[in-house]
Amino acid sequence: MNKFLIVGLGNIGEEYAHTRHNIGFDILDYFVSKHHGVFTVDRLASIASVSLKGKKIICIKPSTFMNLSGRAVKYWMDKEHIELNNLLVLVDELAVPINKLKMKPTGSDGGHNGLKSIQESLATTNYPRLRFGIGNDFPKGMQVEYVLGKWHQEQETAVAKKIERAATAIEDFVLAGLDTAMESVNKFEI
């Protein structure tokens, strides 16, 4: 059975729930629920396992806080014997407009502490990521408050549609491969 590791980045704790920075958790919650999985608390993460057409998909939400996400990713990749090209990281992205999703096979951490930690733990930037655009509509000096803030009410419908599309992108990644998933998701716009 081909195995995949899907990592949703976020911070544990009720104060971070459903913030822009926790969109990785929200995407995985939707995806796992859609495929009738259930998260349980395990080492360094909440974990759920679902099957999709003979492929095993292990989904984790690291419990290490964002800046140590790489510890959880490395642990579960090693434990489950996941190949690097079967890893997909779901992450919030300031540099992508709020109406878009972007999937890439590699890239820099772009100042994102979760990606920086994963890069350090895996000693590479060559792993696929799905970047959920959160836009950058905040006053100068207010980036942290914006990223850790909740979605504006007028954004919630678009965010819900993008979460659904992100779940489809995970399915495409697992079933059709990175190139096909990228071609489809990178054209998506709300």
E strands, the chain, are 3-8, 40-42, 45-52, 55-62, 87-93, 101-104, 129-133
How high is the pLDDT of residue 160? 96
> Structure pTM?
0.96
Question: How many Cβ atoms from other residues are within 10 Å of residue 180's Cβ?
Answer: 12
Each residue's pLDDT, cut to its tens digit, for the chain (190 residues) gives 689 999 999 999 999 999 999 999 999 999 999 999 999 999 999 999 999 999 999 999 999 989 999 999 999 999 999 999 999 999 999 999 999 999 999 999 988 999 999 999 999 999 999 999 998 888 888 899 999 999 989 999 999 999 999 999 999 999 999 999 999 999 999 8
Reported as type and span, the H/E element at residue 166 is helix 156-176
21 is catalytic: yes
Choose, from 18, 21, 36, 112, the residue flagged as catalytic: 21
- The ranges assigned to domains in the chain are 3-185
Homologous superfamily (CATH) for 3-185: Peptidyl-tRNA hydrolase (3.40.50.1470)
